[in-house]
Amino acid sequence: MKKIILAISGASGIIYGLKLLEELLKNFHVELILSSSSLKVMKHETDFNINNLNDFKKFYQFENLNIYSDMDLTASIASGSYLTEGMFIVPCSMKTLSAIAHGYANNLITRAADVMIKERRKLILSPREMPLSPLHLENMLKLSRIGVIIAPPIPAFYCKPETIDDIVNFVVGKLLDAMGIENNLYRRWNG
């Protein structure tokens, strides 16, 4: 199985990261990194009663899934010698965005992203904040200019979503499209 990295940081929209995980597990060996803040936001935004990484690991047991804390800088994915197809950060907080834009690789998420950039591998960020400050916008532009894909979780309404699932499927489908992964998660515009 090809390997792919997914990081979930502590921005709102954890549901997008979890749906993306579900889709990636169908075809990839997934290297999942969870920031400590993501676990706090997950507790607020989902029905999982998760207080720490071990709680999360009890819910997600798959042979093709490795789960890391963002503090684990000894993990294989901290090195460019470990080959992967690319990396998603979904959702991406403004803090993590800023660290990546400045090469500040202080945890496993920002280090793995730094590796993607230096090895010229695909890196897709889904930053979430509203409104966006000039600093947020500058950080996004800086990364976009060096080839990082900035794909915020913004739904479209031309496919007439009726449920939260419809909206999540649209966003996750577009993220998979950006990585070049085939999917039928949303109804495409055919003119």
Ligand X SMILES: Cc1cc2nc3c(=O)[nH]c(=O)nc-3n(C[C@H](O)[C@H](O)[C@H](O)COP(=O)(O)O)c2cc1C
Q: Which of 4, 5, 6, 10 binds ligand X (CB under 6 A)?
A: 10
DSSP 8-state secondary structure symbol assigned to residue 162? -
# binding residues, ligand X (CB under 6 A)? 16
Please report how many Cα atoms fall inside a 13 Å half-sphere around the Cα of residue 177, on the Cβ side: 13
Asked whether the beta carbons of 102 and 25 are under 8 A apart, the reply is no
CB of 63 to ligand X, least distance (A): 27
129-148: contacts with ligand X (CB under 6 A): 129
Instruction: Return the structure tokens found at 99.
Output: 């660290």
Q: Is residue 12 a contact residue for ligand X (CB under 6 A)?
A: yes
DSSP 8-state secondary structure symbol assigned to residue 133? P
Residue type, 50: I
Cβ neighbour number for residue 164 with a 10 Å cutoff = 10
Site string for ligand X, 51-90 (x = CB under 6 A): ----------------------------------------
Name residue 86's beta-bridge partners: 122
Q: Which of 40, 57, 142, 187 binds ligand X (CB under 6 A)?
A: 40
Residues of this chain that bind ligand X (CB under 6 A): 9-12, 35, 37-38, 40-41, 44, 93-96, 128-129
